[in-house]
Chain A
Amino acid sequence: MDKMPQWADVVLIPLISLLLAAILSALVILAIGENPWAAFKLMVEGALMRSAGWGYTLYYATNFIFTGLAVAVAFHARLFNIGGEGQAMLGGLGVALACLYVPWPHWSLAILGASVGAALFGALWALIPAYLQAKRGSHIVITTIMFNFIAAALLNYVLVNILRPVGAMDPATAKFPEATHLPTFRDMFSTADNIMFRGAPANVTFFLALAACLVVWVLIWRTRLGYELRAFGHSESAAQYAGISPVKITVIAMLISGALAGMMSVNTTMGESERLILNSTEGAGFIGIAVALMGRSHPFGVLLAALLFGFLYQGGAELALWTTIPRELIVVIQALVILFTGALDNMVRMPLEKLFLAMRKGDA
């Protein structure tokens, strides 16, 4: 018998962790002489009360869904993919090449082509660490971290020396052609007399992210590949007994993971900046780790966690804009959420398990 009902594990623990992080954040804000309640209200208003705020929250959430799913898929095979950041950068390169060098007639085709490009480049960047892990036993955590640096350097080189238009001063590609521009939420949801999502970067890629959640869910829990992937993650020796090739599963899991991380760039590069710039990923690859941890590696959990982090990002930006709370403190708040939901999971879990055990005893 399990120690706790499942709803407590899935809902209650993250909520309590979140509450603890919020309380501690409030204390920190209090300590620098600001009003935490006012700050919280500002965050909620900025991120959730106006459609433009939502437009930013969902834009960030889209990134985190992709990178969160990437970490989650690898994690089911017990592979810790820290390289989402680098894979997303390379994904951006794939998007840029697809958008710049293929004459797309319409954005709907362009987004498909760019997705394929992003997935391909992201997967390719994950393939090398995967191969090294599977064949040579090089630890995937180390190699994927190193590949983040290599990706940054590579992108820098490619942008400065190859893709930068003649005469341009900043390390970025040329603007993508008009036909590849994705409809934003403003384009999609505004009516003639009511403009929604004004100025917000959220775009059609959000729906692509939702679809990715569904696809990952089906893949993990409904297909043979998902069955083998999870089996391998639980027990490598049992997987070998069953005839599941460790090399094959390691490589496939990392390819899928890298492809998902890469697809994040469709949102940033194609949907928002409409050209490839340096550092378009802005650390989303790392946030994906926290998102996957908090979401218990379940696509639906990843979706919720991504929305939360989207809220924190946008709310945090509002705080920096309207209060004297320094930007660094917002990073502290985000870090506290990661700390409590990810790293200190057991701190909440163990007392709660005892509580449920005691309650059950009371019933018996």
Chain B
Amino acid sequence: MTAPAIQLKGISKAFGPVQANKDISISVMPGTIHGIIGENGAGKSTLMSILYGFYKADRGEIWIKGNKTQIPDSQAAIAAGIGMVFQHFKLVENFTVLENIILGAEDGRLLRPSLAKARKELAHLAKEYELNIDPDALIENLSVGHQQRVEILKALYRQADILILDEPTGVLTPAEADQLFRILDRLREEGKTIILITHKLREIMDITNTVSVMRRGEMTATVKTAETSPEHLAELMVGRKVLLRVDKKPATPGQTVLEVENLRVTDDKGVERLKGISLSLKAGEILGIAGVAGNGQSELLEVLGGFANGVGTIRMNGQELPLTGKGSNGQARRDAGIAHVPEDRQREGLIMEYSAWENSVFGYHHDPAFQKGMLMDNAGILDKAQEQMDRFDVRPPHPKLAAKNFSGGNQQKIVVAREIERNPDLLLIGQPTRGVDIGAIEFIHQQIVQLRDQGKAILLVSVELDEIMSLSDRIAVMFDGHIMGERVPSQTDEKELGLLMAGITQEPTAEDWQVVDQQFALQEEEHEGENNG
């Protein structure tokens, strides 16, 4: 019998009073993909940091290929054949692919021989693993998916046969994620061992052989992927039964709240991002905007939210809103009854250094209710924030804690609470569950549906087609700044939406279907898997 590629025995690690890893043992056989799944803060990243030599475990042993191994730093990890692909790439933007690959692994003081050697090796790797990439391209000119490929090549160049990938699909489009999985599949065939850290159930079900579930620093289960189901994994992750499907009644649309006519937006580089968008949204319905990221959805939210200029007409409750100049800013939009949960909560929705209570009025701080004479009513805001956090189940419920100290899901809850609390007529919500753990996803989806049932209009933008399909009452698909068409979820499927997302509106040819088939092969498989399970 072959020895496991990696075996961890009783790893424990504490940060002060926080026990990040408690007595963790796993064993991964060579030539397999092992998933580690858990909510944010469950201790996945700590465990992998120990394996890669960033942290030293308080207790426990690491065995690599049957030998007990000490990993005091990342050099030792590389020497042991471990390669890591971080969630945030560690690449030098203005270096070429080749230069990045030899960075830190140069053979001598002169670069030329190393570069020549790397070029040959790269060609070899490209052939062996179908990892094609132009070695002379600058990193900054590569797509995110290709940058990730460079990271993988970096590890392979250093002769890694154990690859750790930390949330690799977080930054990828669905098509890119699909390509990544094909590469991983190929690597597995060639005998590499892969550890995939993620919080997405779909990825685990798609590609792993075995999966370990972590919750609050402990390993709650290790199972064969074939013998489990998403529902079961979710329950193991959260510690209770979780609704993966959104539970909602049919919509009862009322009066028209938002009307957009022929809306155009040009960005600061002079590129037209919205090319004449028209849509309307009624009270009590959720309009989902589907599309591959970067097709104008962000700009639509920005211009509606008042922080990008545009040309065209936006009417809110029959009143026309200015699209440029003084009356076009976040304050004016809020006054008009538009609340906005932005796509990027860390860059836009929150001030990360501000405490939760300070964030709880961010954007609404002009409201007289939060003033006391010439000063801000800090004590009153604090009280309200505390009450809000309790109601929205923000954990930990400490309003004085800085936003950066909350997990992604809880940060999002702070933003959603703030925007919903204002009882807006229209809620703009972008990527509501990006980087949010399963328990919080369920909660946020419930909040959105509840708001709809109170007769509010909701404009939902998401790159997760699942989320669009399950939440929306109507779906509009965006491609290259246009709306390609509108569909009702019950009368469409992912294939049809996929065509629209690829910009194809005429009767599709065989070739078109091929494109879509490729793009959605992965999701199809999974749906079958779900039905069977």
B371 contacts partner chain A, Cβ-Cβ < 8 Å? yes
* A243 lies within 8 A of B14 (CB): no
CB neighbours (8 Å) of A11 from chain B are: none
In Å, the complex CA distance between A227 and B375 comes to: 10
Select which of A218, A240, A357 is within 8 A of B307 by beta carbon: A240
* A224 lies within 8 A of B371 (CB): yes
Residue of B nearest to A357 (CB): B16
0/1 string, B355-374, CB within 8 A of A gives 1: 00010001101100001001
* A243 lies within 8 A of B348 (CB): no
Residue of B nearest to A356 (CB): B16
B213: min CB distance to chain A, Å: 26
Which of the segments A37-45, A230-238, A278-286, A320-328 contacts the partner chain? Answer: A230-238
* B334 lies within 8 A of A243 (CB): yes
Select which of B16, B354, B365 is within 8 A of A364 by beta carbon: B16
* B353 lies within 8 A of A227 (CB): no
In Å, the complex CA distance between A241 and B365 comes to: 13
* B332 lies within 8 A of A243 (CB): yes
In Å, the complex CA distance between A227 and B367 comes to: 13
A252: min CB distance to chain B, Å: 15
CB neighbours (8 Å) of A228 from chain B are: 365
- From B16, B306, B344, residue with most partner A Cβ within 10 Å: B16
In Å, the complex CA distance between A361 and B19 comes to: 11
Contact residues of B between 329 and 353, Cβ < 8 Å to A: 329-334, 340, 342, 344, 347-353
Select which of B18, B305, B306, B351 is within 8 A of A238 by beta carbon: B351
In Å, the complex CA distance between A132 and B371 comes to: 33
In Å, the complex CA distance between A228 and B365 comes to: 9
* A241 lies within 8 A of B352 (CB): no
A224 in contact with B376 given A234-B353, A241-B340, A241-B342 (CB within 8 Å): yes
Residue of A nearest to B306 (CB): A243
CB neighbours (8 Å) of B94 from chain A are: none
In Å, the complex CA distance between A23 and B302 comes to: 55
A245 contacts partner chain B, Cβ-Cβ < 8 Å? yes
Contact residues of A between 210 and 226, Cβ < 8 Å to B: 218, 222-224
B17 contacts partner chain A, Cβ-Cβ < 8 Å? yes
Select which of B330, B344, B352 is within 8 A of A240 by beta carbon: B330
- From A227, A234, A242, residue with most partner B Cβ within 10 Å: A242
CB neighbours (8 Å) of A230 from chain B are: 351, 354
0/1 string, B11-23, CB within 8 A of A gives 1: 0001111100000
Residue of B nearest to A241 (CB): B348
B283: min CB distance to chain A, Å: 24
* B16 lies within 8 A of A360 (CB): yes
Contact residues of B between 236 and 252, Cβ < 8 Å to A: none
A1 contacts partner chain B, Cβ-Cβ < 8 Å? yes
* B330 lies within 8 A of A243 (CB): yes
B354: min CB distance to chain A, Å: 7
* A237 lies within 8 A of B347 (CB): yes
CB neighbours (8 Å) of B340 from chain A are: 241
Residue of B nearest to A222 (CB): B375
Select which of A218, A223, A235, A357 is within 8 A of B352 by beta carbon: A235
* A222 lies within 8 A of B378 (CB): yes
In Å, the complex CA distance between A228 and B371 comes to: 14
CB neighbours (8 Å) of B347 from chain A are: 235, 237-238
CB neighbours (8 Å) of B350 from chain A are: 238
* B307 lies within 8 A of A241 (CB): yes
B450 contacts partner chain A, Cβ-Cβ < 8 Å? no
CB neighbours (8 Å) of A241 from chain B are: 305, 307, 330, 340, 342, 348-349, 363
In Å, the complex CA distance between A242 and B351 comes to: 10
* A227 lies within 8 A of B405 (CB): no
Select which of A1, A227, A240, A245 is within 8 A of B365 by beta carbon: A227
CB neighbours (8 Å) of B17 from chain A are: 360, 363-364
* A361 lies within 8 A of B352 (CB): no
B353: min CB distance to chain A, Å: 5
Select which of A224, A235, A357 is within 8 A of B366 by beta carbon: A224
* B376 lies within 8 A of A227 (CB): yes
CB neighbours (8 Å) of A218 from chain B are: 375
Select which of A227, A231, A245 is within 8 A of B329 by beta carbon: A245
A1 in contact with B374 given A241-B348, A364-B17 (CB within 8 Å): no
In Å, the complex CA distance between A238 and B358 comes to: 13
CB neighbours (8 Å) of B331 from chain A are: 242-243
* A234 lies within 8 A of B375 (CB): no
A356: min CB distance to chain B, Å: 9
CB neighbours (8 Å) of A364 from chain B are: 14, 16-17
* A1 lies within 8 A of B307 (CB): no
* A242 lies within 8 A of B352 (CB): no
CB neighbours (8 Å) of B16 from chain A are: 1, 357, 360-361, 363-364
CB neighbours (8 Å) of A243 from chain B are: 306-307, 329-334, 363
- From B334, B347, B353, B362, residue with most partner A Cβ within 10 Å: B362
CB neighbours (8 Å) of B353 from chain A are: 234
A227 in contact with B358 given A240-B330, A242-B330, A364-B17 (CB within 8 Å): yes
0/1 string, B62-78, CB within 8 A of A gives 1: 00000000000000000
CB neighbours (8 Å) of A245 from chain B are: 329
* A223 lies within 8 A of B14 (CB): no
CB neighbours (8 Å) of B351 from chain A are: 230-231, 234-235, 238
Residue of A nearest to B401 (CB): A1
In Å, the complex CA distance between A360 and B374 comes to: 42
0/1 string, A340-364, CB within 8 A of B gives 1: 0000000000000000010011011
* A238 lies within 8 A of B362 (CB): yes
In Å, the complex CA distance between A235 and B352 comes to: 8
Q: Can you list 21 contacts pairing A with B, beta carbon distance less than 8 Å?
A: A1-B18, A222-B375, A223-B374, A231-B354, A235-B352, A237-B344, A238-B348, A238-B349, A238-B351, A241-B363, A242-B362, A242-B365, A243-B330, A243-B332, A243-B333, A243-B363, A244-B330, A245-B329, A361-B15, A361-B16, A364-B16
Closest 10 CB pairs of A and B: A243-B330, A243-B331, A242-B363, A241-B348, A243-B329, A360-B16, A222-B375, A240-B307, A234-B351, A237-B347
Residues of A within 8 A of B (CB): 1, 218, 222-224, 227-228, 230-231, 234-235, 237-238, 240-245, 357, 360-361, 363-364
Q: A223-B376, A228-B365, A243-B329 are in contact. List 14 more A-B contacts (CB 8 A).
A: A1-B18, A230-B354, A231-B354, A235-B352, A237-B344, A237-B347, A237-B348, A238-B349, A242-B331, A242-B362, A243-B307, A243-B333, A243-B363, A363-B16
